[in-house]
């Protein structure tokens, strides 16, 4: 039984490379496409048919033997079962779930463009454009906010084997979007390599992006290369300059052309459907931060019936944890800190759950506490009128990392406003500091918070 994590996939790719010295990454990713049976009409249009490409010949002995064929086929081929299990996805070291098919298509598009000295025209339609467009169209009878997603949870993050979705799937689940974003990032990066620079082996391309180690001296603030915790900000920088509406419409038109189907024009309202869907995509995946759900960090059950908040709220209270005192720099350490805080709040303080609404790690992610809809226990006398957000670490003598503060200020806060959790004119409150967010200049929010008080009820 193969584990469904990115490390296992990279190790299997490396085994193929080791048994085929001199194998190019483009030949390997093409062979993986053939193994997974992903030669649909649009893929062939942009990348060619994998079974007709000469550089994949001779690889059957290393890829298509019984053991490796079974692994790669199941690892890459995407499907959602009737029981809500999503297959063809893997758990990345950063705690997010990634569909491999759009990731590999993006990488192949970038490598092909690099080797041929052409533009990577297939990167967006093969990774995001086609899937999002078809998802918007297929689910146009439901609210736009539900036309993409959902996320889900693994049976075990240490030994992941089964991933189940939290609600019925669309064609573009969170894992598909994550894989598509990563495919865009890596595909565009590979296509833009200098002519004199040869691309790395596929295992090195994947390992450099997903396998990394952050330290307090070499934290995410100073990392300049592409790594997965920067998925949303990197995707935003690549996608914002594009006319996404036109790009998705073009992808859909190509789908109908290749399938000899009559084009559904703007007159049918398709343009409005795509426009509404893209608004949801921008808000959910580009503006909002990636939030690690409770089930991923191993939260225990709420000890009573959660009390709903009366939304929207007028305040957001900023804390630091004090204990744990060190910034958490990985999914495993942040998850461990979350479990420790929940245990302290439930067992020592006798609360029903972890007190905070959300917790910010220094690994590039935000962790769900009581979430958007339930009253927390974070600020005495103010729990019902605001969210409580804490940054993991002791910041009585120094500030949190710039990236952690930016996650809170530039992503979580606007996400809460646009999603209805906070009013458009609200107050952020910290230790002896009250700032009106709508008129907050520059770094005023954090520049003067040099000491903090840990508010607890």
Cα separation of 251 and 341, whole Å? 47
Strand 366-368 relative to strand 358-360, pairing: antiparallel
pLDDT of residue 418: 84
User: Is the pLDDT reported for residue 86 higher than 60?
Assistant: yes
Give the model's confidence band at 437: pLDDT under 50 very low, under 70 low, under 90 confident, else very high: very low
Residue 377's pLDDT is: 95
> Is it the case that residue 20 has pLDDT exceeding 60?
yes
For 289, which DSSP code?
A: P
With H, G, I as helix, E, B as strand and everything else as coil, classify residue 452.
Answer: coil
- The answer on pLDDT for 288 being more than 80 is yes
Provide mean pLDDT across the span 82-95.
Answer: 97
394 DSSP assignment? -
* pLDDT at position 64: 55
Angle at 232 between CA 229 and CA 235, to 5 degrees: 120
Q: What is the pLDDT of residue 68?
A: 74
The CB density around residue 373, as the number of other CB atoms within 10 Å, is 12
Decide: 207 and 125 in contact? Cβ < 8 Å.
no
* Pick from 210, 231, 204, 156: nearest CA to 407: 231
Mean pLDDT, the chain, as a whole number?
Answer: 89
Q: What is the rounded distance in angstroms from the CA atom of residue 145 to the CA atom of residue 282? A: 11
Q: How far apart are CA 249 and CA 430, in angstroms?
A: 46
Alpha-carbon span 136 to 270, nearest angstrom: 9
Predicted local distance difference test score (pLDDT) of residue 218: 84
Token pair 């974003």 is found at 181
By the 10 Å C-beta count (0-12 exposed, 13-18 middle, 19+ buried), 302 is classed as middle
The rounded percent of the chain whose pLDDT value lies above 70 is: 89
Euclidean distance between CA atoms 380 and 317, whole angstroms = 11
CA dihedral 122, 123, 129, 130 (to 10 degrees): 50
* Long-range contacts, stretch 7-14, CB < 8 angstroms, 24+ apart: 7/93, 7/211, 8/90, 9/75, 9/90, 9/100, 9/206, 10/203, 10/206, 10/207, 10/210, 10/211, 11/203, 12/68, 12/71, 12/72, 12/75, 13/202, 13/203, 13/206, 14/201, 14/203
Joined together, the tokens standing for residue 90 give: 């893997």
Q: What is the pLDDT of residue 37?
A: 87
Q: What is the pLDDT of residue 433?
A: 37
Question: Environment class of residue 83 by beta-carbon count within 10 Å: exposed (0-12), middle (13-18) or buried (19+)?
Answer: exposed
* Mean pLDDT calculated for residue range 306-333: 95
Nearest to 97 by CA among 217, 182, 36, 169: 182
Considering only residues 316 and 418, tell me which one the structure prediction assigns the higher pLDDT.
316
Residue identified by tokens 């709420």 is 302
What's the gap between Cα 443 and its chain centre?
Answer: 27
Q: Give me the residues paired with residue 353 across strands.
A: none
Q: Are 182 and 105 spatial neighbours (Cβ–Cβ below 8 Å)?
A: no
Q: Which whole number is the average pLDDT over 219-241?
A: 95
Nearest residue to 264 (alpha-carbon basis) of 127, 146, 129, 137: 137
Least reliable range by pLDDT among 46-60, 64-78, 100-114, 208-222: 46-60
Phi-psi label, residue 322: left if phi above 0, alpha if psi -120 to 50, beta otherwise:
left
Query: Does the structure show a pLDDT above 50 at 452?
Result: no
Residue 455 pLDDT: 33
- Residue written as tokens 């082996």? 201
Lowest mean pLDDT of 1-5, 52-56, 265-269, 452-456, name the range: 452-456
Tokens of 144: 């736009």
Q: What is the mean pLDDT of residues 371-397?
A: 95
The reported pLDDT for the residue numbered 230 is 96
Interhelix angle for 202-210 vs 6-19, to 10°? 160
Tell me what pLDDT residue 250 has.
95
188 vs 238: CA distance, rounded Å = 9
Pairwise CA distance, residues 371 & 392, whole Å: 17
Report, as an integer, the average pLDDT of 342-362: 97
Whether 34 and 77 have beta carbons less than 8 Å apart is answered as: no
Q: Which residues contact 308 (CB under 8 A, 6 or more apart)?
A: 373, 374, 375
**CA nearest 254: which of 142, 444, 124?**
124
Model confidence band, residue 267 (pLDDT cutoffs 50, 70, 90): low
Which tens digits make up the pLDDT trace of 290-304? 999 999 999 999 999
Which residues lie closer than 8 Å to 394 by C-beta, 6 or more apart? 320, 321, 322, 323, 325, 326
Q: Taking 70 as the threshold, does the pLDDT of residue 390 lie above it? A: yes
- Residue 450 has a pLDDT of 33
Q: Is the pLDDT of residue 231 over 70?
A: yes
CA nearest to 356, candidates 324, 387, 314, 392:
387
Spell out the SS3 assignment of 265-287: CHHHCHHHHHHHHHHHHHHHHHH
């Amino acid at each position: 039984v193969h584990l469904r994590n990115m490390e296992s996939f990279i190790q299997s790719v490396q085994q193929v490379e080791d048994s085929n010295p001199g194998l190019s990454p483009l030949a390997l990713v093409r062979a993986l496409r053939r193994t997974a049976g992903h030669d649909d009409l649009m893929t062939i249009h942009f990348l060619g048919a994998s079974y007709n490409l000469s550089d994949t010949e001779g690889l059957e002995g290393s890829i298509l033997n019984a053991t490796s064929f079974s692994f790669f086929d199941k690892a890459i081929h995407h499907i959602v079962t009737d029981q809500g299990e999503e297959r063809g996805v893997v758990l990345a070291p950063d705690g997010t779930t990634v569909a491999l098919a759009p990731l590999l298509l993006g990488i192949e598009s970038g490598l092909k463009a690099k080797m041929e000295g052409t533009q990577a025209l297939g990167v967006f339609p093969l990774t995001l454009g086609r899937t999002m467009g078809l998802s918007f169209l297929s689910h146009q009878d439901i609210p736009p906010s539900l036309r993409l997603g959902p996320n889900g949870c693994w049976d075990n993050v240490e030994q992941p084997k089964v991933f189940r979705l939290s609600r019925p799937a669309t064609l573009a689940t969170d894992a598909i979007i994550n894989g598509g974003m990563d495919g865009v990032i890596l595909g565009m990066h590979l296509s833009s390599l200098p002519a004199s620079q040869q691309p790395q082996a596929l295992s090195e391309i994947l390992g450099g992006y997903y396998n990394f180690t952050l330290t307090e001296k070499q934290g995410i603030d100073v990392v300049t290369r592409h790594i997965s915790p920067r998925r949303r900000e990197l995707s935003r920088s690549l996608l914002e300059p594009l006319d996404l509406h036109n790009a998705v419409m073009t992808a859909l038109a190509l789908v109908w052309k290749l399938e000899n189907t009559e084009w559904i024009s703007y007159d049918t309202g398709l343009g409005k459907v795509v426009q509404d869907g893209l608004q949801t995509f921008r808000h959910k995946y580009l503006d909002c931060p990636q939030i690690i759900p409770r089930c991923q960090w191993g939260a225990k059950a709420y000890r009573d019936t959660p009390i709903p908040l009366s939304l929207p709220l007028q305040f957001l209270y900023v804390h630091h944890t004090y204990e744990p005192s060190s910034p958490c720099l990985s999914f495993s350490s942040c998850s461990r800190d979350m479990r420790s805080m929940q245990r302290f709040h439930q067992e020592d303080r006798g609360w029903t759950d972890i007190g905070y609404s959300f917790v910010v790690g220094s690994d590039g992610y935000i962790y769900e506490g009581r979430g958007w809809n339930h009253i927390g226990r974070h600020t005495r006398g103010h729990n019902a009128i605001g969210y409580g957000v804490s940054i993991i670490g002791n910041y009585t003598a120094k500030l949190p990392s710039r990236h952690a503060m930016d996650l809170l200020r530039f992503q979580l806060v606007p996400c809460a406003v646009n999603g209805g959790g906070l009013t458009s004119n609200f107050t952020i409150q910290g230790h002896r500091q009250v700032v009106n967010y709508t008129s907050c200049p520059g770094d005023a929010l954090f520049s003067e918070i040099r000491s903090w008080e840990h508010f607890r009820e």
